[in-house]
Chain A
Amino acid sequence: MLRLKQLRVKGVRGIVDGPDLFFETGGLLLCGDNGTGKSSYVDAVEKVLAGKCSSLDIGARGVSWRKQGTHVNCQDSEVELTLTDGPQDIILTLGTDPATLDKQTRIFLEAARQQSFILRRRTLLDFIDTEPRKRYQAIESFLNLDEFASFEAKLKDLEKTVEAKLTVACESRDQHERTLREQLGLDKLVSIDDATCLQAVNETLGIARISAMTSLGDITSTLAKLESLLTPYKNMEALQKVQLLVDSIERIPDVADLLKAAQEYTDARRKFVTEEAKLKGHFYVQVLEKGLAWIAEDDLSRCPLCNNPVTLPEVTAYVDMRLAENKKFIQLKQRQSRARSIFEDSWRTWRDSFESVRNQWIDALNSDFPDEAIQIATGLEQLLESHATLLPVSTIERDIGSSLEGRFVEVAKSLGATAKRRRDSFPDSVRYSQLYNAKLQASATSIHFKEITELNRRISYLETCNGQLRVLSDLAEKSRKKAVQKLLDEIVEIADQYIQRIHPSERIGNPKLTIPERGSGSIDLTSHFHSETGDPRGHYSEGHVDSLGLCLFLAIRRIHHTQHPELSLLILDDVLHSVDANHRRETANLIFEEFKDHQVIVTTHDSLWFEYLKLAARNNNQAKFIQRRIASWTLDTGPIWGDHLSNYEWLVSSKSQKAKPADKVIKAGLLLEEMLQNLCNNLWVSVPFRIRGDYTIDPLWTSFYATIRKKNKEFSAKAESCLKEIDDLRNLRNWVGAHWNEWAQTLTNSEAGAFAKAVLELREYAYCEDCRQFVRRIPELDGVWSCKRECKRYSRRQRTV
């Protein structure tokens, strides 16, 4: 099974360039103060495995991996995560294309993308604080309901299909109803049924003096009867045409009016022409009026234009006469224009009427338009054309004389008589109308009522189908909810077991996740607090809510893992701030006992909990863990290791050989301090009390050295030389300690080397590389000091060979 092996990080969040992280089969415990880069490592792991970083890619504006994923002083970020399944290593980077990986790794990554395996401080309460819908979405990925959901979707599709058919059928039915109402003259408020249709048709049959139907079943025979009665009226369409022709002939204007308009025009024309002939040249009213004003104002005796002698009265009289003549002339011109317009309109109207008759004639009577009438039509057309301009009076009198009247009247009369004769040759049209209406209504009822009845039946069936599909959909939804509820019950059962382990006898827990009746994509959360049940945020302390959040997450992880064991990874990033020491100890035990089948990575800023975690990992889990401590962080360096392993690794590396003596002593001092803290703790060494546990090397060493010599002869005998060396170099150790100072710069390489050698030798006796722990006192074995598997074992008394 794949697990994490090594993580190299460069330019990510708070990390500039390493240090690298190594993971054992059991996992990694990482301690460091806030802001020292712990979460940056978690971000890098998540980004490579899941393709996103949940602490950055949170959907908030301006926050994303792309924008803030890279260290502020770096151009780019690099992550190299080594996975291993034992014999084979797989290296993943930020740019790794999953398609290029083997199947096992692809499945691993797919699981990481789908499942939640990282819990952070800021997401600890997400499942509790979020709204019910998002709670559902949080677990949706492992509901494994795709096939059943597909069945439900298909049911919904069928419902939609039936809905569409219903719409079409209803629209068709409504259209038939509208047509039938129109035909039967029924109001919108009257329902369309047998009785109303029967009554409406019977009324029309009554008007046509046809016996009423007893039911709509009689409609076929009634239609047959009506057809029979209408047989003689087969040509009634022709009658309608003839009637229309008669009407058109009667609408031809009276010829007398036509001639009257022509006479008016002739008179007006004649008078105008006569008056025009009288006028002597052009006439300028304004010139006359202006000239008259000059003469009057200047009292002139001669004409200003021709210089002839003039008198004002003569000129005034003459001008007045001329103005009167002009006024009369204009009036005659206007009258001629009006008369001409009336003449043209009258004759055009007459011509149009006559043309209309001519057009209807052939269709209605099936015979040619009479020759005489054609001559009149042609003549009229020519006349209107030739009189489009003003012609002499004599021409007008010749063309439009009273002689026309006789011909026009005679032809019109003749046309009317012919058409009427044809009309009168048809049977009774009133009777026809009654029978025809009755037939129309009966026929409409026969067609539309049948359609309506059939459509109503179909609509009823489709509604039944819809109802049945709705029942099935409801049943399916309820079944799905029940299935999900079962899973939720399992989740809360597991979560409650976890809660009871952490909070025994506290009468809290028993969480319930419930799919509500309303909707289908949400989950309600309640839990117990003594006798109360409700939203946990209402009753629980902050610590209890934190515990509940963690336990729900762990329960979900447990279910996730059961479904997809490919991903056996659990990362807890600095969770549980508000939980007290005792509960944290139980939490640590729970994590390492219940998740033995996982690689567990826990980060914390709390040294005490770090110790609990180390102890719990050791006691409850056979797998190996790596424990690292971050001492400090700067923007330029990123995290700086501060644990004994890093100091030890430095001292045995080639770097140490070339290092300055002071640096060597500082590293050896740090290693000694870390070792003494562990050994004093593990070997139950009594150390003078210091507030906040702020111990320096001196009290630790003094107590430790005294205890060794008194309580474990074997260890003190075996490590005698290095113990003595360290004790002898008391000044060196005390002056340099774990801190850089000026004095350290004067040390020789030989002095520093001796001190470092003694410290490393002590580590050889006190630390087991296989068990990855310092020896500890085993009370059950009479105070034997040993590592977990007794690879290193020291008796109280020196063994004799």
Chain B
Amino acid sequence: MSEQEFEDLSNLNVVAANEFKHALAGNTALLPEWKQITTQLFENGIPQDLDALSKLITEESNAETEAT
């Protein structure tokens, strides 16, 4: 195993993120909107926050509250 390979593997955050992105793309149980938002979260590497997903839940709740 080369030093470079070692270094690549030493940051498992990145390895896991890549695996996740791959799994995300191939998953059929996810709704399109959820898949799209989660994929966008990973555009710049490991997501620091999940605001977009959180918004998806909260916005719907707010809309419902208003409707109620």
Residues in chain A near residue B17, CB distance under 8 A: 148, 151, 479
Within the complex, which residue of B10, B56, B57, B60 is in contact with A562, where a contact is CB–CB below 8 Å?
B10
Are the CB atoms of B27 and A486 closer together than 8 Å? Answer: no
B window 26-59: CB within 8 A of A:
27, 29-31, 34, 38, 46-47, 49-50, 53-54, 56-57
Contacting pair A486 B30 (CB below 8 A) = no
Does any Cβ of B come within 8 Å of A487's Cβ? yes
A490 to B: closest C-beta gap in Å: 6
Closest to A451 in B: B68
The one of A144, A148, A150, A465 in contact with B10, judged by C-beta atoms closer than 8 angstroms, is A144
B side interface size, CB within 8 A: 36
Residue of B nearest to A143 (CB): B12
Docked CA distance A462–B61 (Å): 9
Looking at chain A's contact residues, the main secondary structure is helix
Partner of A146, one of B13, B27, B29: B13
**CA separation between A468 and B60, bound complex, in Å?**
15
* Interface 0/1 of A139-161, CB less than 8 Å to B: 00011111110110011001001
Mask of B7-21 contacts with A, CB within 8 angstroms, 1/0: 101111101110110
Q: How distant is the Cα of A457 from the Cα of B67 in the complex, in angstroms?
A: 12
Question: Shortest CB–CB separation between residue A107 and chain B, in angstroms?
Answer: 16
| Contact A454 B64, CB 8 Å, known A471-B27, A484-B12, A487-B9 | yes
Contact partner of A483 (CB less than 8 A), chosen from B12, B31, B34, B56, is: B12
A165 and B38 in contact, given A148-B12, A454-B67, A472-B30 (Cβ under 8 angstroms) = no
Given known A158-B57, A475-B20, contact A458–B64 (CB-CB < 8 A): yes
A479-B68 CB under 8 A given contacts A471-B29, A487-B9, A493-B1: no
Q: Assuming A478-B23, A493-B1, is B13 touching A147 (CB within 8 A)?
A: yes
Cβ of A311 under 8 Å from chain B: no
B16 near A480: Cβ-Cβ < 8 Å: yes
Complexed CA–CA distance, A479 and B15 (Å): 8
User: From residue B13, how far is it (CB to closest CB) to chain A in Å?
Assistant: 4
Are B23 and A479 in touch, CB under 8 angstroms? yes
Of A142, A154, A451, A484, the most chain B CB neighbours within 10 A belong to: A154
A464 within 8 A of B: yes
- Whether a CB of chain B sits under 8 angstroms from the CB of A426 is no
Contact B46 A154, beta carbon cutoff 8 Å: no
Residues of A within 8 A of B60 (CB): 461, 465
**Contacts A151-B46, A454-B67 given; does A479 touch B20 at CB 8 Å:** yes
Quick check: A145 and B64 within 8 Å, CB to CB?
no
Chain A 785-796 per-residue mask, 1 if CB under 8 angstroms from chain B, else 0:
000000000000
- How far apart sit A490 and B61, CA to CA, in the bound complex (Å)? 47
Taking CB atoms, residues of chain B closer than 8 Å to A476 are 16, 20
- Contact of A161 with B9 in the complex, beta carbons under 8 Å: no
Could you say which of B6, B10, B46, B47 has the most chain A C-beta atoms within 10 Å of its C-beta?
B10
Least distance between B67 CB and chain A CB atoms (Å)? 7
**In the complex, which of the residues A148, A161, A462 has the most CB atoms of chain B within 10 Å of its own CB atom?**
A148
A80 and B61 alpha carbons, distance in the complex (Å) = 64
Report the separation of the CA atoms of residues A461 and B56 in the bound assembly, to the nearest whole angstrom: 11
For the complex, give the distance between the alpha carbons of A483 and B61 in Å. 36
Q: Does A617 contact B (CB under 8 A)?
A: no
Q: B3 to A562, Cβ gap below 8 A?
A: yes
- Best-buried of B11, B19, B27, B68 by chain A (most CB within 10 Å): B19
Residues of B within 8 A of A147 (CB): 13, 46
Is B24 touching A145 in the complex (CB atoms < 8 A)? no
Q: Does A494 contact B (CB under 8 A)?
A: yes
| Cα(A496)–Cα(B40), bound, Å | 41
Choose one: B12, B29, B57, B61; the contact of A145 (CB below 8 Å). B12
Chain B residues with Cβ under 8 A from A493's Cβ?
1
Q: CA A464 – CA B68 in complex, angstroms? A: 20
The interface residues of chain B lying within 8 Å CB-to-CB of A302 are none
Q: How far is the CA of A415 from the CA of B49 in the complex (A)?
A: 78
Q: How far is the CA of A480 from the CA of B9 in the complex (A)?
A: 13
Q: Interface size on A (CB < 8 Å)?
A: 43
Complex CA gap A563/B6 in Å reads: 8
Contact across chains for A487 and B54 when beta carbons are under 8 A apart: no
Interface contact B6-A562, CB-CB below 8 Å: yes
Assembly CA distance A66 to B49 (angstroms):
44
- Closest chain B CB from A213 CB (angstroms): 24
A138 within 8 A of B: no
Contact with B along A443-476 (1 / 0, CB 8 A): 0000000010010011001101100110110011
B54 — which chain A residues lie within 8 A by C-beta? Answer: 158, 161
| CB-contact partner of A468 in B23, B34, B46, under 8 A | B34
Q: Once bound together, how far apart are the Cα atoms of A483 and B20, in whole Å?
A: 10
Whether A482 sits at the interface, judged by CB under 8 Å, is: yes
- B43 CB to nearest chain A CB (Å): 14
Contact of A170 with B by CB under 8 A: no
* Interface residue? A223 (CB, 8 A): no
Q: Kindly identify which residue among B3, B7, B10, B16 contacts A479, using a CB–CB cutoff of 8 Å.
A: B16
Q: Which of B9, B22, B46, B67 has the most CB of A within 10 A?
A: B9
Q: Please pick, from B10, B30, B46, B50, the residue contacting A158 in the complex, using a CB distance under 8 A.
A: B50
Q: Are A165 and B50 in contact (CB under 8 A)?
A: no
Identify the closest chain A residue to B11 (Cβ). Answer: A144
Contact assessment for B12 and A155 in the assembled complex, using a CB-CB cutoff below 8 Å: no
Contact between B61 and A165 (Cβ–Cβ < 8 Å)? yes
Say how far B61's CB is from chain A's closest CB, in angstroms.
Answer: 6
A 714-736 binary contact with B (CB < 8 Å = 1; else 0)? 00000000000000000000000
Q: Are B57 and A161 in contact (CB-based, < 8 A)?
A: yes
In whole angstroms, what is the CA distance A469 to B23 when docked? 14
Asked whether any CB of chain B lies closer than 8 Å to the CB of A162, the reply is yes
Closest residue of chain B to A454, judged by CB? B68
With A and B bound together, what is the CA distance between A154 and B51 in angstroms?
Answer: 10
Q: Contacts A144-B11, A148-B13, A562-B6 given; indicate if A479 touches B19 (C-beta within 8 A).
A: yes
For A563, the chain B residues whose CB sits under 8 A away are: 10
Residues of B within 8 A of A486 (CB): 9, 12, 15
Q: Cβ of A146: which chain B residues have Cβ within 8 Å of it? A: 13
Separation of A593 and B51 alpha carbons in the complex (Å): 51
In the bound assembly, the distance between CA atoms of A497 and B64 in angstroms comes to: 61
A325 CB to closest chain B CB (Å) equals: 88
Complex CA distance for A469 and B54, rounded to whole angstroms: 10
Which residues from chain B contact A454 at a C-beta distance below 8 Å?
64, 67-68
Closest partner residue, chain A, to B38 (CB atom): A472
Closest A-chain residue to B21, C-beta based?
A: A479
Cα-based distance from A479 to B18 in the complex (angstroms): 8
A484 to B38, CA, bound (A): 22
CB distance from A726 to the nearest CB of B (A): 54
B-to-A contact residues, CB < 8 Å:
1, 3, 6-7, 9-13, 15-17, 19-20, 22-24, 27, 29-31, 34, 38, 46-47, 49-50, 53-54, 56-57, 60-61, 64, 67-68
29 A-B pairs within 8 Å (CB atoms) are namely A142-B10, A144-B13, A145-B16, A146-B13, A148-B12, A148-B17, A148-B20, A151-B17, A151-B46, A154-B49, A155-B53, A158-B54, A158-B57, A161-B54, A462-B61, A465-B56, A465-B60, A468-B31, A469-B53, A472-B30, A475-B27, A476-B16, A478-B19, A478-B23, A482-B16, A482-B19, A490-B1, A493-B1, A562-B7
Q: Told that A465-B60, A471-B30, A562-B10 touch, could you supply 9 new A-B pairs with CB distance under 8 A? A: A143-B12, A148-B13, A151-B17, A165-B57, A454-B67, A458-B61, A479-B20, A483-B12, A559-B10
Residues of A within 8 A of B (CB): 142-148, 150-151, 154-155, 158, 161-162, 165, 451, 454, 457-458, 461-462, 464-465, 468-469, 471-472, 475-476, 478-480, 482-484, 486-487, 490, 493-494, 559, 562-563
Q: Which 5 A-B pairs have the closest CB atoms?
A: A479-B19, A483-B16, A479-B20, A483-B15, A147-B13
